[in-house]
Chain A
Amino acid sequence: MPMPAYATTPERAWFYAHRVIVAAILVFLIAPILVIMPLSFNSEPYFSYPMPGLSLRWYEDFFTNVRWTSALKMSIIVAVSVTLVSTALGTLAALGLSRPRFPARGIIMSLLISPIIVPVIISAIGMYFFYTRIGLTNSIPGIVLAHTALATPFVVITVTATLSGFDQTLTRAAASLGSNPVHSFFKITLPLILPGVISGGLFAFVTSFDEVVVVLFIASPEQRTLPKQMFSGIREMISPTITAAATLLIVFAVTMLTTVELLRRRSERLRGIRN
C-alpha cells in the first residue's frame, strides 16, 4: 500500500519508521545465518570476529573426518528412505482425503497431522519404549520408521493443498472416455499434482535430515546422523567444523527453498491460478 497523497506529517513519519523497524526485524531473522558462514572459513578455531585469516581447514575436516562423513552418509541414507516411503503413503492418503464426502475426515486428518503437533520429546520417548519392546531400537529401519511418522504429515498437508485446486472434471472426462482409475491417475492427476508431490517429498527429506531428538533416544551411540553429530559437537567439544557443517546445511536450505518456490510457481501455472 503506497502512502496516500492525503497523508499527514506524523503519518509520513510513521510510514518510514515502520520500514526501518521491519528492516531491523528482517536483519534479526537473517543475521545468525549470515554471521556463522564466514566463521567457517576462519583459520583459527575461534568463534569471534575479526578473523585472523582465511582457511578451508574446517571443510577439509568435515569431508575427511570419519565422524562427520559417516554421519552425513547415515543422514542421507535415512532421509532418502524416509522420503520414498512418506511420499508414497502421504500422496495416497491425500488423494483419499480429497475425495468428496470422505467419512470422518476431520478426525482422520487430525490424527494424520498429529506427529507435527505432539512435542517431539513425547514422540521420542514413546517410540523408545515401544521400539525397545519390539526390538527396533539401535537399527536403521527403526530410525526410518520413526522419521517417516514425523515427516509424512508434511506430505499430506502439501499434497492436499495442491489437490484442493485440482479440477476433478478432468478425471471424470478421462473415465467417460474409457480410462481406468489407475491409468487416469498416472496420465492426468499425477502430472498435474507432481510439483506438490515433489514439494511434499522435499519437506519429508528436510524433516528427516534435520531431526535429532528421536535419534538421540532410539539410535545406538554408533548410529550418528548429521544433526546428532552437531548436537553432541555443541555440547561436548565445540569444534569449528560445526560452522562448516552449518554453512553446508545453509547452502542446502537455499537450494531447497529455491526448488520449492519454483515448484510452487509451476504448480500454480499448471492449475491455472496464475500465468
Chain B
Amino acid sequence: MVATTAPDIVRTADGVPLKLKLQRVERSRRLKALGLVLPLLIFIVMSFVVPIGTMLKNAIDDPEDISKVLPATMQALQSWNGQDIPDESVFAAFVADIKQAQKDKTSALVGKRLNYEIPGIRSKVIAGARKIEKLEAGPYKDALIAMDAVWGQQETWATIKRASSPWTAFYLLAALDFERNADNAIQNVPPEQAIYRTIFVRTFWIAFQVTLATLLLGFPVAYLLATLPTRYSNLLMIFVLLPFWTSLLVRTTAWFVLLQDNGLINEVIQLLHLWDGPLRLIFSRFGTILAMTHIQLPFTLLPIYSVMKTISPSHVRAARSLGAGPFYAFWRVYFPQTIPGIAAGCLLTFILALGYYITPALVGGATDQMVSSMVALAINQENNWGKASALGAILLFATLILFTVYNRLVGVDKMKFG
C-alpha cells in the first residue's frame, strides 16, 4: 500500500477522514438548529430589542439639538474658558444666530432646551429673542446683560455649551436627582426638586415587602400542598392556579371593589366593631401591597412547591429517629433543601414587582406610585421622552442585574408556568 495513508485514519466510503466528516455533519446540524431559532430571533430583535434600544438612545439623546439653531454661538463658545462670562465675540455670534432663528421660527427650541436645565428660563429666552431681533449694532454683551440678568450668568452659557453635543447625560442624572452646577460638576439637585431617588427607593421597598409577604404566605401553603396526597393537593392547587390564570385587571378590579370605603372588607370590620368608621384601604400603601401580594403569590409559591415535591420525607424521618426535635429536624434538614425554590420564587416576584404599573395606578394613592408610573407620567403628561427613557433605562438596568442573578442561580430553563 501507499505509505502516505496511515492505516489508523478511518475514512468514509468517499475517502474523507471520518473525523472531518463528523465535524461537518455536526456543523450542519448546528446550523439547522440555529435556522429553526432564527425566525423568532429576528422577530424578537426587530419588535422588542430594537425598540428598547430606541428607548436607551432616547435616554442619552439630546432631542432639542440646538447646535443647529445656534451654530455660530457653539463655534464661538469653543474657545471660552468656561469660568467667566464669555466675551463679546460669543454674544455677537449669539445675536446673529437668534436673529436667524427668529426668521426660521426656531428660537423657541432654544428656550425649551435650556428650560430642562434652568427652570423658568423659557419665557426669558422667548422675550429676549424678540428684543434681540430689534438690536441694530453692538456691542451686544452689555446690551444683553442689561436686557436680562440671565445673560450675565455663567450658568446660562455653560448650559448652552453643553447642549452642543448630540448626547447628554442630563436625563440620566436628573432621573437620579443629580444636576450639573455652573462648574460642570455633578451635584445633588435642591432638596425641594429631588423626587426620583425617593421613588426608586419606594419601588424597591414595595417590591421587597411584597416579596417577603408572598414568601411568608406561600411557604406554608407550598409545604402543605407538597406533603398532602396528590388527590387532595391537586384539588387545593385550584385555589392557587385559578387566580394565576385570572386576568390581572380582573383581580385588580376585585381589590378595587373590596377595598372601597363602603366595600366588603370595611363592612366586615364595621360588623365586628373592630374599628370606628371606615378604614382608608383604597388608594393606600396597604391596598397596593395587598393587591400586589395577591397577584404575585402564585409566582413565589409554585417554584417552592416544585422544589419541595422532590424532597424525600425520609430525610426528616431519619433526623427524627436520630433524636432531632420536630423544629430542629425541619430547620436543619428540610428547610435548607427548599432554598433553591425560595430563591427562584422570590427573585422572580421581586423582578416582576419592580415593574408594576397597573395595580399601583388603580389602587394606590399619589405617594404609592412606583417608577413605572413616573415613566408613564413623563410620557403622557409632561411629553418628556428623555426623562421617561432615562427612568426606564435605570429600571431596566436594575431588572437585568437581577435577571442575571436569577439566570445564574436558577436558569431560564427552570422557569415554568401552570
Contacts and interface: CB of A to CB of B under 8 A. Distances in A.
A26 B413 contact: no
Given A149-B43, A242-B253, A246-B253, A121 B376 contact: yes
Contacts, number: 280
A270 interface: no
Contacts of B10: none
B245 A206 contact: yes
B324 interface: no
B333 interface: no
Interface in A134-155: 145-146, 148-149, 152, 154
A216 B413 CA distance: 31
A213 B372 CA distance: 10
B224 to A, nearest CB: 5
Interface string A111-143: 111111111111101111111010000000000
B30 A210 contact: no
Contact of A257 (B245, B257, B392): B245
Contact of B44 (A19, A48, A152, A206): A152
Contact of B379 (A19, A118, A128, A146): A128
B40 A93 contact: yes
A157 interface: yes
A146 B264 CA distance: 38
Contacts of B245: 206, 253-254, 256-257, 260
A185 B39 CA distance: 18
Given A125-B388, A230-B253, A154 B33 contact: no
A146 to B, nearest CB: 7
A209 to B, nearest CB: 8
Contacts of A125: 55, 375, 379, 388-389, 392
Interface in B359-384: 362, 372, 375-376, 379
A120 B34 contact: no
B397 to A, nearest CB: 10
A160 interface: yes
Contacts of A128: 379
Interface in B404-418: 407, 412-413, 415-418
A186 interface: no
B54 A119 contact: no
Most B CB contacts (10 A, CB to CB) among A32, A36, A112, A129 go to A32
A200 B388 CA distance: 33
Nearest to B29: A99
B384 to A, nearest CB: 11
B175 interface: no
Interface residues of B, number: 92
Contacts of B250: 33, 36, 230, 246, 249-250, 253
B51 interface: yes
Contact of B392 (A95, A115, A122): A122
Interface string A37-64: 0010000000111000000000000000
Contact of A160 (B48, B263, B413): B413
A119 B358 contact: no
A6 B320 CA distance: 10
A29 interface: yes
B249 A113 contact: no
A66 B351 CA distance: 38
B254 to A, nearest CB: 4
B236 A26 contact: yes
Interface in A198-231: 199, 203, 206, 209-210, 212-213, 216-217, 227, 230-231
A106 B407 CA distance: 9
B239 A89 contact: no
Interface in B218-253: 220-221, 223-224, 227, 236, 238-243, 245-253
Assign chain A's interface to a size class: 35 or more
A156 B417 contact: no
B48 A48 contact: no
A133 B54 contact: yes
A130 B49 CA distance: 10
A1 interface: yes
Contact of A227 (B51, B249, B297): B249
Nearest to B290: A28
B242 A257 contact: yes
A110 to B, nearest CB: 6
B3 interface: no
A264 interface: yes
Given A90-B40, A92-B40, A210 B418 contact: no
A97 interface: yes
A165 interface: no
Nearest to B241: A257
Interface string A155-175: 011101100000000000000
B7 to A, nearest CB: 30
A252 to B, nearest CB: 8
Given A123-B52, A257-B245, A92 B239 contact: no
A102 B33 CA distance: 7
Interface of B: 26, 29-30, 32-41, 43-44, 47-55, 58, 217, 220-221, 223-224, 227, 236, 238-243, 245-258, 260, 262-264, 267, 294, 297-298, 313, 316-317, 320, 326, 351-352, 354-355, 357-358, 362, 372, 375-376, 379, 385, 388-389, 392, 395-396, 399-400, 403, 407, 412-413, 415-418
13 contacts: A22-B221, A26-B236, A36-B257, A48-B264, A48-B267, A93-B41, A101-B29, A115-B44, A118-B52, A119-B357, A126-B48, A130-B50, A210-B249
Top 10 nearest A-B pairs (CB, nearest first) are: A119-B355, A96-B36, A126-B51, A32-B254, A99-B33, A130-B51, A1-B227, A96-B37, A93-B40, A121-B372
